[in-house]
Amino acid sequence: MHQVTERDNRRGGAIMTLLVGLVLVAGVASTVYATKRWWLPPLVSAAAAPIDHMFNLLMVTIGIVFVLTQGALAWFVWQAARNPRALYWHENRRLETTWTVVTAVVLTAFIVMGYQIWLSLHAPTAAAAEKTAVVEVWGQQFFWTARYPGPDGQFGKTDPQYVDFQKNPFGIDPNDPAGRDDIVVDGSKEPIVVPAGYRVTVRLASRDVIHSFFVPSLRVKMDAVPGQVNEVYVEPTEPGTYEIACAELCGVGHFAMRGELRVVSEADWQAWLQERAGEHGGTAQ
Amino acid sequence: MAHGGTPAAVAGHATEAAHHHAPQSFWRRYVFSTDHKIIAIQYLLTSLIMAAVGGFLAMLMRVQLGWPGKEWPLLEAIMPNAFKGGQMDPDFYYGAVTMHGTIMVFFFLTTALSGGFANFLIPLQIGARDMAFPVLNMLSFWAFPVSIAFALASFFVQGGAPGTGWTAYVPLSERETAGQTLWLISVFILMLAFLAGGINYITTTLNMRTKGMSMSRLPLTVWALFATALIGLFAFPALMAACLMLIFDRVGGTHFFDPAGGGDPILWQHLFWFFGHPEVYIVILPAMGIVSEVLAAHGRKPVFGYKYMVGSMLTIAGLSFLVWGHHMFSSGMSPTLGSIFMVTTLAIAIPSAIKTFNWLATIYRSKMRFTAASLYAIGFVSLFITGGLTGIILGNPSVDLYFHDTYFVVGHFHFIMGAAALFGVFAGIYHWFPKMFGRMMNERLGKIHFWLTFLGIYGTFFPMHFLGTAGMPRRIYNWDAYQFLGDVATLNHVISISAFVLGAAQLIFAYNLFYSMFRGPKAERNPWQANTLEWWAPSPPPHGNWDEAEPVVYRWPYEYSPKDAPEGVDHIPQWLPEPAMAVAGRDGQRAR
């Protein structure tokens, strides 16, 4: 038998209690400190407000459970080092039922709330639908490109036969009147522009591998998958410039796939559309 | 030291002729062995060596992430290709990302737990002499080094190791250099080996239990390993199919996943995660079993809620196949599916919570002996709580949209399937080392190893949640290019330094392991006074496990500190028959 004196064992238990206690205290303290310094970036999206609320609620709940369970663990360990004899106790149906039901109720509440938010993100609300804009965002190794329908609000047809990497990388059909005022913006050279106060539909596509369009300040993330178009809605509220990151490993230049999203006021947006109408872009290939 | 009377003699059962194993050559005995214990040790040691390789890659990644852009002339001198001009080459960085994940998930955790511990414990704990198919067992081990060879070879082919992450998402992995094909072949071979192993474990558990060992008397480790093998039976083929399809795409001109030829890149994600999420449980369930066992034996207290522990493990095993879509909330799949996966994902938190509460209740009013094994088991509970709770945040799809592919996820899964599973492995090694090698490990070194590892793990992975909350995407080679991440430098320094402490602490373990293997004090049959059958066999058990007859089982495995036991008796092993209970006290005393 491996021999340890009672005194040594109590000391071992005290150190373990201390370690778990340290985790508890440092975990809570560092999280509180992090809310000041390393927290969600300031939110500039109306649609995403419920996400932040849900996150805060979840954080508070798991914070309470964290303190209770780690605290119980530390306390039981402290006791376990001092008990003269272990308790012969290995079954209690009422206890099992209680913690199963309580857990289930809490999780069900999260499911119901989470479901409503999930729906609200995918179904446009009536009020927000008044002013809308659409932008096509393309991911490719290793930058973002955007196409706008121009002042007429209609995307022109595209056809690979018109692709010209110097002048018309999207291959917008010059014969289609809807496409003449289309605007293409090379995101590696300048920001992608969207209007504040609009419900903006971002249509995501990819030219090569899977990328993921991540704008932390808008709480938006959606994959750009080759062969399909993914739609995501954003409602930017504050004019400003926000960073776009690629969140899906897309090759060795993944880390450099940084872009910028400029949110402009409604007047600036209209002026920008008029000014840039018909710029079919030109990306270095 | 030897326990009095074999159970067969005590109970008067007809003894089966003892298996006699003729002396074997060194090669037959230690290399191409069909003995489940030798195979277990082969698996365990190989996987620990791989853990060192995977850990080394992690250290290199933390060098880059802690101080992006800094030049390291010393590292350049050692690894000129990885550190061109003193700075880490991004190509190498992404190769390291991929191989770190692959090695840790497949070559370390899965093999250590489902190869090492499953092989060692299943026959010994159910009272069998070996696995049902010993030769298949040997073959399934020997496929493992072949698989490793393919994976490591990718470092040396043109273009280096694949830079697609351990998830190898298409179409990127269709375009990757030759290393990706080697990676796919490696994973395919390994899955085949695991599948063969799993069939062996299931058959052995169902068919080879000794007399009296009903399913309701199985130790929780065996239940866990059995449930794990069942998961593998359904999960591994999905990945094998996906690997084959991708190999065909890459070298055979098919277009299963390539949209240019009518394929679907999302199909890969479905196949991968249909395997990939159950894989998390393939790693964590055995660790859960080990921890339950160690807490009971070292806490001298029966496992609380045995039936609920088994039930929740089987529930987790079943549900694990219904949650894969939560890895794909941002892939553009139908929002309806998203809400369904939210329900199943949060539902799987219920059996996980049941297990956690049962461990807490097991520790409650136990008489814990604070050995290295029990410290790791207690540490596991703490890690599992922390890692499990953040999973509730990620299970909410709308919130997950922000956290998906950020360091929050990295922190979360490293707590659960990295750190907690690792603690399960350590708890298991410290607990069963005496049985495996017939010698004791150094407890003092074991404790120092634990303290450093526990603090190192928290210091490394807890701050990662803050990185993720601040929005730092994972697999980003130079986060300093982003303005919104300007303030995370401190966190990255802390994480890197903690990771180095964590890495260095493992040298203590390596020393302790190899020193004790040859020089440790001789172990008794049952140094922890545990109840399960393996402790009735000699340390280490001979080929065939039992000196004479196989043991007979009379009770469940957690009869610790029974109420009406005589003074001085705090456990009644499974192999002691009822009439012998009265003598168990004296016998127990002697055994000490």
Residue B23 has pLDDT above 90, yes or no: no
Residue B51 confidence (pLDDT): 98
Angle, CA of B183, B186 and B189, to the nearest 5°:
150
Indicate which of A5, A24, A77 best probes the interface with B, i.e. most B CBs within 10 Å of its own CB: A77
A28 burial level (CB within 10 Å; 0-12, 13-18, 19+): middle
Helices (H), B170-264: 172-175, 179-207, 220-251
**B177 in reach of chain A (CB within 8 A):** no
What does the alpha-carbon distance between residue B190 and residue B193 come to, in Å, rounded to a whole number? 5
Residue B486 has pLDDT above 90, yes or no: no
Residue A255 has pLDDT above 90, yes or no: yes
Please tell me which of the candidates B375, B455, B479 has its beta carbon nearest to residue A16: B375
Residue A144 confidence (pLDDT): 96
Q: How far is CA A25 from CA A10, A18, A155, B234, B308, in A?
A: 22, 10, 56, 42, 31
Q: What is the largest CA-CA distance in chain B?
A: 78
Percent of chain B with pLDDT over 90: 87
Residue B17 confidence (pLDDT): 40
Residue B97 confidence (pLDDT): 96
Residue B21 confidence (pLDDT): 61
Residue B579 confidence (pLDDT): 59
Residue B394 has pLDDT above 60, yes or no: yes
What does the alpha-carbon distance between residue B79 and residue B222 come to, in Å, rounded to a whole number? 44
Q: Do residues A169 and A285 touch, judged by C-beta distance below 8 A?
A: yes
User: B396 vs A121: CB contact, 8 Å cut-off?
Assistant: no
Residue B578 has pLDDT above 90, yes or no: no
**Residues 42..101 of A with a Cβ closer than 8 Å to B: which?**
50-51, 54-55, 58-59, 61-62, 65-66, 69-70, 72-73, 76-77, 79-81, 83-92, 95-96, 99-100
Give exposure, B37-73, as e/b (b: 16+ Cβ within 10 Å).
bbbbbbbbebbbebbebbbebbbbbbbbbbebeeebe
Residue A82, number of CB atoms within 10 A of its CB: 13
Whether the bond into B538 is cis, omega within 30 of 0: no
Rounded to the nearest angstrom, the minimum Cα separation between A201 and chain B is 14
Q: Residues B497-507: pLDDT tens digits?
A: 999 999 999 99
Give the pLDDT band (50/70/90) at residue B588.
Answer: very low
**B480 in reach of chain A (CB within 8 A):** no
pLDDT greater at residue B31 or residue B373? B373
**B255 in reach of chain A (CB within 8 A):** no
What does the alpha-carbon distance between residue B391 and residue B396 come to, in Å, rounded to a whole number? 9
Indicate which of A88, A110, A142 best probes the interface with B, i.e. most B CBs within 10 Å of its own CB: A88
The mean per-residue pLDDT over the stretch A117-130 comes to 75
Please tell me which of the candidates B164, B462, B524 has its beta carbon nearest to residue A249: B164
User: B482 vs A243: CB contact, 8 Å cut-off?
Assistant: yes
What does the alpha-carbon distance between residue B576 and residue B5 come to, in Å, rounded to a whole number? 10
Q: Residues B31-51: pLDDT tens digits?
A: 899 999 999 999 999 999 999
Residue B6 confidence (pLDDT): 43
Residue B28 confidence (pLDDT): 83
The mean per-residue pLDDT over the stretch B82-100 comes to 94
Please tell me which of the candidates B379, B385, B466 has its beta carbon nearest to residue A38: B466
What does the alpha-carbon distance between residue B381 and residue A197 come to, in Å, rounded to a whole number? 48
Indicate which of B170, B273, B316, B330 best probes the interface with A, i.e. most A CBs within 10 Å of its own CB: B330
Residue A129 confidence (pLDDT): 55
User: A252 vs B562: CB contact, 8 Å cut-off?
Assistant: no
pLDDT greater at residue B221 or residue A4? B221
The mean per-residue pLDDT over the stretch A109-126 comes to 87
Please tell me which of the candidates A1, A30, A255 has its beta carbon nearest to residue B592: A1
Q: How far is CA A162 from CA A167, A172, B415, B440, in A?
A: 10, 6, 52, 75
Residue A238 has pLDDT above 60, yes or no: yes
CB proximity list for A6: less than 8 A, separation 6 or greater: none
Q: Do residues B201 and B239 touch, judged by C-beta distance below 8 A?
A: no
User: B366 vs A37: CB contact, 8 Å cut-off?
Assistant: no
Residue A16, number of CB atoms within 10 A of its CB: 27
Rounded to the nearest angstrom, the minimum Cα separation between B479 and chain A is 8
The mean per-residue pLDDT over the stretch B570-591 comes to 65
**B363 in reach of chain A (CB within 8 A):** yes
Residue B586 confidence (pLDDT): 43
Angle, CA of B518, B293 and A89, to the nearest 5°:
140
Residue B266 confidence (pLDDT): 96
Mean pLDDT of chain B: 92
Chain A nearest-CA residue for B475: A249
User: A73 vs B363: CB contact, 8 Å cut-off?
Assistant: yes
Give the pLDDT band (50/70/90) at residue A4.
Answer: confident
Given the DSSP bridges, would you call strands A199-206 and A230-234 parallel, antiparallel or unpaired?
A: antiparallel
What does the alpha-carbon distance between residue B267 and residue B275 come to, in Å, rounded to a whole number? 13
Residue B416 confidence (pLDDT): 95
Rounded to the nearest angstrom, the minimum Cα separation between A259 and chain B is 10
The mean per-residue pLDDT over the stretch B508-536 comes to 96
Residue B1 confidence (pLDDT): 35
**B398 in reach of chain A (CB within 8 A):** yes
Could you give the angle at which helices B179-207 and B220-251 cross, rounded to 10 degrees?
Answer: 150
Residue B84 confidence (pLDDT): 87
Give the pLDDT band (50/70/90) at residue A145.
Answer: very high
Residue B563 confidence (pLDDT): 86
Which residues on chain A are in Cβ contact (under 8 Å) with B307? Answer: 91
Which residues on chain A are in Cβ contact (under 8 Å) with B162? Answer: none
The mean per-residue pLDDT over the stretch A30-36 comes to 96
Indicate which of A18, A36, A103 best probes the interface with B, i.e. most B CBs within 10 Å of its own CB: A103
Residue A243 has pLDDT above 90, yes or no: yes
User: A228 vs B367: CB contact, 8 Å cut-off?
Assistant: no
User: B368 vs A77: CB contact, 8 Å cut-off?
Assistant: yes
Mean pLDDT of chain A: 92
3-class secondary-structure state, position A284: coil
Q: Residues B267-324: pLDDT tens digits?
A: 999 999 999 999 999 999 999 999 999 999 999 999 999 999 999 999 999 999 999 9
Which residues on chain B are in Cβ contact (under 8 Å) with A247? Answer: 330, 404-406, 473
What does the alpha-carbon distance between residue B288 and residue B309 come to, in Å, rounded to a whole number? 9
What does the alpha-carbon distance between residue B265 and residue B170 come to, in Å, rounded to a whole number? 6
User: A40 vs B406: CB contact, 8 Å cut-off?
Assistant: no
> Which residue in this structure is represented by tokens 């299943």?
B122
Q: Residues B147-169: pLDDT tens digits?
A: 999 999 999 999 899 999 999 99
Write down the pTM of the prediction: 0.94
Give the pLDDT band (50/70/90) at residue B528.
Answer: very high
